[in-house]
Structure formats: structure tokens, C-alpha cells
Amino acid sequence: MDTYYMGEYDVIVIGAGHAGCEAALASARMGCRTLILSMNLEAVAMMPCNPSVGGTGKGHLVREIDALGGEMGINIDKTCMQSRMLNTSKGPAVHSLRAQADKHQYHMEMKKTLEEQENLDMKQQEAVDIDVKEGQVQGIITRTNAYYKCKAVVIATGTFLKGRIFIGSSNFPSGPNGLAPSCDLSENLKRLGLPLRRFKTGTPARALSDTFHYDEMKRQDGDEKIVPFSFMNDSLDVDQVPCWLTYTNERTHKIIRDNFSRSALFGGEIEGVGPRYCPSIEDKINRFPDRKRHQLFVEPEGRQTHEMYIQGMSTSLPEDVQEKFYHTIEGLEDITITRPAYAIEYDCIDPLELKLNLEYRKIRGMFCAGQFNGSSGYEEAAAQGLMAGINAALEVSGKDPFILDRSEAYIGVLIDDLVTKGTNEPYRIMTSRAEYRLVLRQDNADERLTEKGYAIGLVSEERYQKFLRSKEMAKEEMKRLKETTVGPQDADEFLISIGSSPLNNRVSLYDLLKRPEVHYQEMAAIDPDRPRLTQHVIDVIEVNIKYEGYIRMQERKIQKFKKLESRKLPEDIDYEKIDNLRIEARQKLSRLRPVSVGQASRISGVSPADINVLLIWLEKKRRMK
């Protein structure tokens, strides 16, 4: 192949989805000359599936991306059409923000951000090969035979890599949303030794908004007061649009059951593994035959389009069957479908082949992010893209990697789960995956991570100064609440009015706020001289005070966790020579090369007894030294 030289970059990002955008912006903002490639610039930050950002667990990731200086939170605040805080009936650890996006505006705003970013070039090009010599990335080659030299590359190909669409018995090479797939790169990655496998995902049909019967569905409005995703926004003024709730029924289920044999999922055409927590409608009906109905959400795709997204109804059944079963659902009897549902299969890497900094173990300078790593969801992709971009920039600069552990962030949980435990299906973050979720709340993401983002050069000075002011306000107000006391004559009338017990003696406002029924905003009735604070600061103060005892308990557990994480394992350790390690443990440890005893303890197949053997071995080495 005759190639021609087209320039040199520090970091090249392949793919401009949610992972690629965050990776490229992070690298460029940290001072690296960066190039991002997309097969089609209309696919930049594309939302081929659900037109929303956030949700349970996912909202935590977006807040953490924002706290580190990423872009997703800022972009969804710009393009939000509806916002809701989920799980408000439960504790603050699982409160999760979710916003409906104008998907077209989301794409345009992110593309504009990339275009305006210093140190960043964006080109419509298909990467077909990565040049590697002596285990080190040298550059990339495009479809047009252009050669770009680089020191590091981030692979963020999403579902484009050897993508194949399935609709009934019909299947054909395609990326998401009818765009072209990337096939040559997949073959060349295999040639380089990357162990690729097939995963699957799917998306429901779209239909025209004026063909729904809204009086037959339940209206779902956004929150009256919108909570922004980005720490840089104290409030948002959005003209919100409604979503709608409806359900499948027995007629729907019968049509689908009668056509199981025509589904690509059951017909054997699909070899890839699909997501457990977002199954197709035929998979739901097959797995849960006693369920009389499944809920669906009808959501707008944007302000400048009439297309609506039917969440909860992805399928690989043929179009004629789709037409029949969609029309059996209340409110959907007369819909005009503009885009049929489909399943898409694609190549991805086994994440067990990655280091904690998301670098491929066998090739220096090759970083991987997003659905290419076996995850699902825009938020999981963006979080990995951010970390891959950061670590590519740090490696180019000769600096130590930036790694978040499980006690510091949901991002740490996500990456540790992928590279330490692996996944046999598209991985989805959930609050239940985090052991320390009371400390890893979405309201304190800036408190946990902004200092770290500033230290590596990603958080701007403006953001950092705003963070310091917010932190100082919270500190001063908690001090004032401790020092300000009220007696029965000051507070009893207020307390009785909200159903709380009257006082026996004077107490501090700090202790009063520990009562579940007492809230900071309502205490204005007995605390008229309070300072003006942002809602964000108020939320942090209230949660820290009300859950103070539980937070301290969790922090003690984190200290124990940190001790195991701090016990580092030598890079050149020969596990075959450690006596008393079981054969399975030796094999797993030799393959995965954990960096610490803590990480080793989370590897499937490594038992507590094996960890004790490692600890004894480390102690012997320490004494010998």
C-alpha cells in the first residue's frame, strides 16, 4: 500500500461518539496536539438509541465527568428538553439525574465544541490500520492511504466496528442509524493480536408524534425545578416537553410469541451477546412468560423533528411483525413508523486485556474506550473516553497514569469491573455495583474529583475557583449551623407545624437538621439571618449532616480498602514461583497482572486463601530487603 504523509499528532482518537469526543477534548485541553477521526461528521456525539443522558447510576457518571473537566454534563444542560431526578423516595446515595436530550442539537453543540477547541483537529476519515513497531504505536493509516504519525491512539469505535444490522431474516453490514460500518480496522486489529469478540445491542422503532393517541397514555412531566448536570450551572431555564407512559398487553405478546421463529435473536443469525438489563421485547416475553405487560416510554427525539422514540421496545423482528405488535398498544394504534427497530452486532475487545489506565497490555500507546471495551450506554462510554484521553495525554508527556479506584468514583467502579472482573455481556453501571455509594453520591462529585482534575491540568481555572468558593461556603455554613442554637421558645411552633417533636432544651441548628423531617430550606422560619447559598451547596450540607454517622462508617471501610490497594505487586512478579498459590490463581494472576493486592482480590478465580499467600510472600520480600 502506497501511503502519503499527512502530519504528526501527539494523540489520535478513532471515533467521534461519546467516548471519542471526551477523549479528544481531554487530550487537547491537557496540551496535546490531538486529531479526532470520524467516518461521518454527522455522527459526532450521535444518539442512535435513547435520546437521553443520565439515569440510575449513569447520572453519577455524568456528574463525575463534569467534575473532572469533561463535556457531557455541559452539553446536556445546553440541549435538555426535560429533566427528572430519579429515586427521590429513596436515600441520597441512589438519587440519579436524567435528562431528555434534543439529540440533533446535542450533536451540533458537541461538534461545535470540538471545532472550537484549541490543539484539536477534526477530520472525516476512516482509520483502517494502526501502525505498530516493536510494541509501540507509530501512527494510523486511513481509507484514502493517508498516514498520520502519532505517539498514542484511542480506539473509540462504538458499534461501528464490523457492524451488522438485523431485522428479521434480513441482515447486512451497517453501522448504527444506517451509517457505513468499519470493517478493515477490525481485521487489522486482529492481525495486531487484539482478542476481539461479538456483542449486540438494539434500538426501538421511531414514529411520528401526530399519530399517537396521547389521551390513552399517562403523561410524564419533568421536575418543576431543574437540577443542572454541570457544576458550572447554578440553574437552568428550560421549556420542558412531556414524555408518555404506556404498556404492552396480551395481544402484543401473542403476536410476538407467534413470530419468535422470525426473530433474528432466536433464529440463530445473531452470534453476539446482548445486554442483560436492556433486552429486546421478544427476549422479555420469552424470559418472563407470566408478565401480563411491560412498560414503554414514548419520548421526543428533538424540538425540530416529529419523531418519537419508543423506549423499551427494541426488537429484531421483521417490519411486518413490528407494524402489527406496535399497533396493539394503547396510544400506538395508529402510529406511522418512520424507522423500524433493529439489532446491531459489532466487534469489541475483551477488557481483561487492558490495564487500569485503559491501555492495551501488549501495545504501548494504544488506549481503548467505550463500547469497544464491552460496555453499553453513552455515559459509560463518555467516562471511559475521558479517562483514556487523560491517560493517553499523560503517557505522551511522560507522566504517571491517572487512575480512580472504587472508593473514589463510579468511574473507578466501572473501569475496575471491566479490566479486573471482565464482562460476558455489554456492561451497564448501576448503583448496586458500588460498595461505597453513600460516599460516591452525585451531589458531591465535585468535592471528590475537581481537585484531581485540576492537578492533571484538565479542570479550567474558572471552574476550579468556583469549586473553591462553593467548598468554602459549605464549610462556613456548617460551622455557623454548629454555633447557632435555638430553644423551645424559638423553634417549637415551627417543629410542631412540620410534625416534629418540640425541644426540651437549646440545640444547635446543625443537630436540628439531623432530624429526617427537618430540611434546610424550611429552617428559614427560625433562622432568618442565614447566608444566600446555591442549591448545590445546600444539598451537600444537608446530606453530610443527616447521614454523618453512616458516612463515617463507610469512610472507615474505605480506609481498610485503601490498605489493600496500597499493597503494590511488582510488575515482574513470577506467580508460578510462589508456593501454595492454586493453579487457577497462578493462571489468572499471570494473565491479568494486577497492580495491587486489592485488585488481585477482585479477580474471579482468586480466593481469599490465595490473597493470604500473596500477603505472606510480600512480607517475606519486604523483610529480605
pLDDT by residue (tens digit) across 211-232?
A: 999 999 999 999 999 999 999 9
- pTM equals 0.95
Cα–Cα distance between 262 and 268 in angstroms, integer?
A: 10
CB atoms inside a 10 Å sphere around CB 271: 11
Among residues 314, 312, 320, the alpha carbon closest in space to that of 343 is found at 314
Mind listing the pLDDT tens digit for each residue in 485-507?
A: 999 999 999 999 999 999 999 99
Residue 315 has pLDDT above 80, yes or no: yes
What is the C-alpha to C-alpha distance for residues 71 and 73, in angstroms, rounded to an integer?
6
The H or E element containing residue 218 is: strand 218-220
The per-residue pLDDT for 278 is 81
Q: How many CB atoms lie within 10 A of CB 565?
A: 18
| Per-residue cell: 17 | 461518539
Q: Would you state the pLDDT for residue 1?
A: 64
Distance CA 331, CA 624 (A): 75
Judge contact between 594 and 604, C-beta under 8 A. no
Average of pLDDT values for 300-314? Answer: 96
pLDDT tens for 33-80 read 999 999 999 999 999 999 999 999 999 999 999 999 999 999 999 999
Q: Cell numbers of 287, please?
A: 424470559
